[in-house]
């Protein structure tokens, strides 16, 4: 026991001695001693100040940023941050054990005051705690504070990623509004919107808000309302771009719409078709750009829609419009209209990844040029390419006039539009001229920009530091030169992409809350459709049931639920919902078609014939309905009537493998060997896995036998026997086996005869 106590005492004493020695031999780490040791001309280990960049210009109202650096110096574990000012008075010195530092509020206010329109030098020295006077690394940048305030709050959207998740559940998208001067994250003023909202814009004085909304399952819906502290997005505020020439039945989304400076007009892309597909990377999880469309003007006073002459040429895609500050000119992106190889003549608005494979897989370029046109009270004029933003071998888009009318800032990328990793901001005089790259560009994606009302600052989005888009500021001087980007740290959530920032010429409290007053069953259907596309049939079913709770007469919900239930093996319930959809909408083609397929699988051939006939009544060129109806009629023995539908199916779609196979089967039964072989070979060429019918090869065997081609007859009979055994059809197996023996004997006899 005494030994244990003695050992414990010795251990404690030894530990105390070690601590004492460590304290005695650790030099005091003082800013003064480090600065005395620092030699500006000497080369130290590499310390890179990542933020802010050299010559960054901060707005006077911005809260304290976080200085960040990367240190490659050996054994560096403590840093001195020392700031020298042009007044040559006392420096601000801070010692930190992390490679970052955020000034306290009072410190930052002093820094801004003492660097107003003059450079302050930020020097960072890296040392080891063990040897405090041995400077291992060094880096420095100059910063200053601008006299120009931003002077306006920022309205912006936050989206969850990947983008397909936001499509499935738009209620997670939210909007914030707040001042640059706020040290806290701007408050959420709109969330839980049951439909997707996008592309908001405000009138010059901030009195009118206009925004894309997918109200009532209408992608062309658009809400226009007056701003107020408490706002309601009501159905009475909704228009639809589909009302423009709606008699042609062509669907419109109304893309990238913008309200005029005076709030009277809205310009948008209509009669549009777009590449709009999910992509794998989290940061760039959608590919979007229009390939067809014209510009349309909505007049809020007359409540009329008219195309804009000069920007309504169907041979071009005309999109992404922007108003000049006086409302007299519109700048827009233009390219030659393009019809995808797999969708020619189909008139689809949104296209799948497979349909867009020349872009999504082959990387086919698609370039836009910027054009200007006189608005002329809606009469339009002659479009003119803008010098510096057209015919430069790049894609030019997202033009934004400065409020003073002097400049246009636009995006330039190698191809496409929106969410391009190489997108950079360029500036030109408003009348056009040499394009200059803004110094404020970051390393990855610079887009969605907005001018402050005083034309001094530009807000924009970037993915330089994160796959989740962040907001930045850059100062634009009188000559159009910009400063390095200032990160709006307090504006960004770590799990949301912040985009579409727009300065509003109003006070930060002008909008406190926005709520919607929409029927939202359609948002659940949209979510269900996205889950269905992604193969999550259970989630699709759940979303459809939510929609039907709100609106039992939602035809789309019944149809999508039926498809999800079918994949889950609930065939009878699936058929019930298709029947309900048809009762609500008797001309619903996809409901009749899928119910026809369901009836055919259950052996209810007469019911299947009825529904496929309805499909062809409402859509005579439906090649799959022709093919399925022909195949069923063939089973029922109506060979001539079956042939009419089967040949119609391959007339509409020559690559319909199922129709070719059924025609081959019919011709084999009619002893038309050459025709049967022609269509059989075509079917197998198109779909090698289609060759599953023992009846086909049995018919071919009979045909070959009649033609006394016994070797082919034996081979076809063997194939028929193999398929019959796989299908478990014992009776047919015995019939085929009998003929196989006959053809084997005839084939052997033919061989013997040939030898003689």
Strands 56-58 and 131-145 come out as parallel
DSSP 713-730: HHHHHHHHHHHHHHHT-H
* Amino acid 522: pLDDT: 72
Q: For the beta carbon of residue 99, count every other beta carbon within 10 angstroms.
A: 18
Structure tokens at 43: 């080369």
CB-based burial of residue 638 (10 Å sphere; 0-12 exposed, 13-18 middle, 19+ buried)?
A: middle
DSSP secondary structure letter of residue 65: P
Rounded Cα distance, 467 and 419, in Å: 11
Q: Mapped to the 3 state alphabet, what secondary structure does 511-526 carry? A: CCEEEEECCCHHHHHH
Crossing angle of helices 694-706 and 730-755, in 10° steps, is 30
107 closest CA partner among 122, 124, 129, 88: 122
**644, pLDDT greater than 70:** yes
Q: At 379, give phi and psi (nearest 5°).
A: -85, -15
Rounded Cα distance, 425 and 462, in Å: 11
| Residue whose entry in the numeric block shows the structure tokens 């959207």 | 157
Q: Which residues are CB-neighbours of 700 under 8 A, at least 6 positions away?
A: 668, 673, 676, 677, 680, 712, 716, 720
pLDDT tens across 129-175, in order? 766 568 899 999 999 999 999 999 999 999 888 877 766 677 788 99
Contact criterion met (CB below 8 Å) for 452 and 475? no
**41, pLDDT greater than 90:** no
DSSP 204-234: TTS-EEEEEE-GGG-TTEEEEEE--SEEEEE
Q: At 96, give phi and psi (nearest 5°).
A: -135, 150
Q: Which residues are CB-neighbours of 573 under 8 A, at least 6 positions away?
A: 565
pLDDT tens across 736-748, in order? 788 777 877 777 7
pLDDT greater at residue 732 or residue 330: 330
* Amino acid 750: pLDDT: 66
Contact criterion met (CB below 8 Å) for 396 and 389? yes
Q: For the beta carbon of residue 131, count every other beta carbon within 10 angstroms.
A: 13
Strands 424-429 and 407-413 come out as antiparallel
Q: For the beta carbon of residue 495, count every other beta carbon within 10 angstroms.
A: 10
691-722 per-residue burial string, b: 16 or more CB within 10 A, e: under 16: eebbbbbbbbbbbbbeeebbebbbbbbbbbbe
**715, pLDDT greater than 50:** yes
* Amino acid 18: pLDDT: 29
Rounded Cα distance, 695 and 552, in Å: 46
Report the share of the chain in percent with pLDDT over 90.
45
Q: Of the given ranges (45-59, 434-448, 554-568), which has the lowest mean pLDDT?
A: 554-568
Q: Which residues are CB-neighbours of 697 under 8 A, at least 6 positions away?
A: 716, 717, 719, 720, 723
482 closest CA partner among 424, 530, 430: 424
* Amino acid 125: pLDDT: 94
pLDDT tens across 379-388, in order? 999 999 999 9
Structure tokens at 402: 């400065």
Strands 384-385 and 369-374 come out as antiparallel
Average pLDDT over residues 581-598: 89
pLDDT tens across 463-476, in order? 999 899 999 999 99
pLDDT greater at residue 124 or residue 286: 124
CB-based burial of residue 124 (10 Å sphere; 0-12 exposed, 13-18 middle, 19+ buried)?
A: buried
User: pLDDT tier at 1 (50, 70, 90 boundaries)?
Assistant: very low
pLDDT tens across 423-441, in order? 999 999 999 999 999 999 9
pLDDT greater at residue 180 or residue 163: 180
**Structural class in CATH, domain 154-517:** mainly beta
270 closest CA partner among 207, 238, 303, 317: 317
User: pLDDT tier at 753 (50, 70, 90 boundaries)?
Assistant: low
Average pLDDT over residues 366-383: 96
| Residue whose entry in the numeric block shows the structure tokens 């005579």 | 620
3-state secondary structure of 202: strand
Q: Where are the domains of the chain?
A: 31-145, 154-517, 519-581, 586-666, 692-756
519-581 — its CATH code? 1.25.40.10
Q: Mapped to the 3 state alphabet, what secondary structure does 585-626 carry? A: CCCCHHHHHHHHHHHHHCCCHHHHHHHHHHHHHHCCCCHHHH
Rounded Cα distance, 134 and 667, in Å: 94
CB-based burial of residue 606 (10 Å sphere; 0-12 exposed, 13-18 middle, 19+ buried)?
A: exposed
**Structural class in CATH, domain 586-666:** mainly alpha
31-145 — its CATH code? 2.60.40.10
pLDDT tens across 697-709, in order? 767 777 777 777 8
H or E stretch including 23?
Answer: helix 2-25
Indicate the pTM of the whole model: 0.71
Q: For the beta carbon of residue 552, count every other beta carbon within 10 angstroms.
A: 12
Preceding peptide of 52 cis, ω within 30°: yes
| Same fold for the pair 519-581 and 586-666 | yes
446 closest CA partner among 465, 435, 462: 462
Average pLDDT over residues 653-663: 80
Preceding peptide of 586 cis, ω within 30°: no
| Residue whose entry in the numeric block shows the structure tokens 């034996």 | 714
């Amino acid at each position: 026991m005494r030994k244990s106590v003695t050992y414990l005492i010795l251990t404690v004493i030894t530990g105390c001695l070690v601590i004492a020695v460590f304290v005695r031999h650790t030099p005091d780490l003082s800013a003064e001693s480090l600065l005395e040791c620092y030699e500006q001309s000497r080369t130290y280990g590499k310390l890179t100040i990542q933020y802010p960049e050299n010559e960054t210009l901060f707005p006077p109202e911005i809260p304290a940023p976080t200085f960040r650096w990367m240190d490659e110096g050996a054994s560096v574990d403590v840093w001195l941050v020392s700031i020298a000012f042009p007044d040559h008075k006392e420096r601000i010195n801070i010692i930190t054990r992390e490679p970052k530092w955020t000034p306290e509020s009072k410190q930052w206010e002093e820094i801004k005051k003492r660097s107003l329109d003059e450079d302050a030098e930020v020097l960072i020295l890296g040392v080891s705690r063990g040897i405090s006077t041995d400077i291992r690394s060094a880096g420095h940048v100059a910063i200053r504070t601008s006299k120009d305030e931003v002077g306006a709050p920022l309205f912006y959207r936050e989206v969850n990623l990947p983008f397909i998740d936001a499509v499935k559940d738009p209620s997670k998208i939210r909007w914030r509004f707040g001042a640059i001067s706020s040290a806290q994250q701007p408050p959420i003023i709109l969330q839980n919107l049951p439909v997707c909202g996008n592309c908001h814009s405000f009138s010059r004085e901030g009195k009118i808000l206009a925004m894309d909304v997918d109200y009532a399952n209408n992608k062309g819906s658009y809400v226009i309302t007056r701003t107020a502290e408490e706002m309601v997005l009501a159905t009475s505020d909704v228009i639809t771009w589909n009302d423009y020439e709606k008699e042609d039945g062509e669907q419109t989304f109304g893309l990238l719409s913008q309200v005029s400076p005076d709030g009277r007009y809205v310009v948008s892309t209509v009669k549009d078709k777009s590449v709009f597909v999910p992509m794998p990377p989290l940061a760039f999880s959608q590919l979007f750009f229009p390939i067809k469309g014209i510009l349309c003007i909505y007049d809020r006073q007359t409540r009329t829609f008219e195309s804009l002459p000069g920007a309504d040429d169907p041979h071009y895609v005309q999109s992404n419009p922007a108003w000049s500050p006086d409302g007299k000119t519109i700048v827009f992106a233009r390219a030659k209209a393009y019809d995808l190889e797999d969708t020619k003549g189909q008139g689809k608005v949104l296209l799948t990844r497979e349909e867009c494979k020349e872009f999504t897989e082959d990387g086919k370029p698609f370039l836009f040029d910027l054009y200007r046109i006189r608005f002329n009270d809606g009469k339009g004029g002659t479009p003119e390419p803008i010098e510096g933003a057209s015919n430069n071998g790049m894609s030019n888009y997202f033009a934004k006039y400065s409020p003073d009318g002097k400049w246009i800032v636009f995006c330039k990328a190698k191809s496409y539009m929106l969410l391009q990793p190489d997108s950079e901001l360029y500036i030109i005089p408003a009348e056009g001229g040499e394009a200059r790259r803004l110094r404020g560009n970051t390393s990855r994606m610079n887009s969605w920009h907005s001018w402050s009302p005083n034309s001094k600052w530009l807000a924009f989005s970037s993915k330089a530091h994160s796959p989740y888009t962040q907001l930045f500021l850059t100062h634009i001087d009188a000559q159009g030169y910009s400063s390095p980007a200032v990160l709006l740290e307090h504006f960004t959530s770590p799990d949301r992409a912040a985009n579409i920032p727009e300065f509003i010429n109003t006070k930060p409290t002008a909008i406190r809350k926005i709520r919607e007053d929409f029927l939202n069953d359609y948002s659940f259907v949209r979510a269900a459709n996205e889950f269905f596309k992604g193969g999550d049939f259970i989630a699709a079913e759940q979303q459809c049931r939510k929609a039907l709770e709100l609106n039992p007469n939602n035809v789309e919900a019944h149809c999508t639920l039926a498809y999800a239930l079918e994949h889950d093996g609930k065939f009878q319930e699936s058929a019930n919902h298709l029947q309900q959809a048809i009762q609500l909408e008797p001309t619903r083609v996809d409901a009749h078609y899928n119910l026809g397929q369901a009836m055919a699988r259950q052996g209810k051939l007469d019911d299947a014939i009825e529904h496929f006939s309805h499909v062809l009544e409402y859509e005579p060129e439906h090649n799959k309905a022709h093919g399925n109806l022909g195949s069923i009629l063939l089973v029922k023995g109506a060979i001539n009537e079956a042939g009419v539908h089967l040949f119609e199916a391959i007339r509409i779609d020559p690559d319909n493998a199922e129709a070719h196979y059924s025609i081959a089967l019919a011709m084999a039964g009619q002893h038309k060997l050459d025709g049967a072989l022609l269509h059989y070979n075509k079917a197998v060429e198109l779909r090698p896995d289609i060759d599953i019918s023992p009846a086909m090869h049995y018919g071919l065997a009979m045909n070959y036998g009649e033609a006394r081609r016994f070797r082919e007859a034996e081979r076809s009979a063997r194939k028929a026997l193999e398929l019959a055994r796989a299908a478990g059809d014992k009776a047919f197996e015995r019939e085929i086996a009998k003929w196989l023996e006959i053809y084997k004997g005839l084939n052997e006899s033919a061989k013997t005869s040939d030898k003689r």
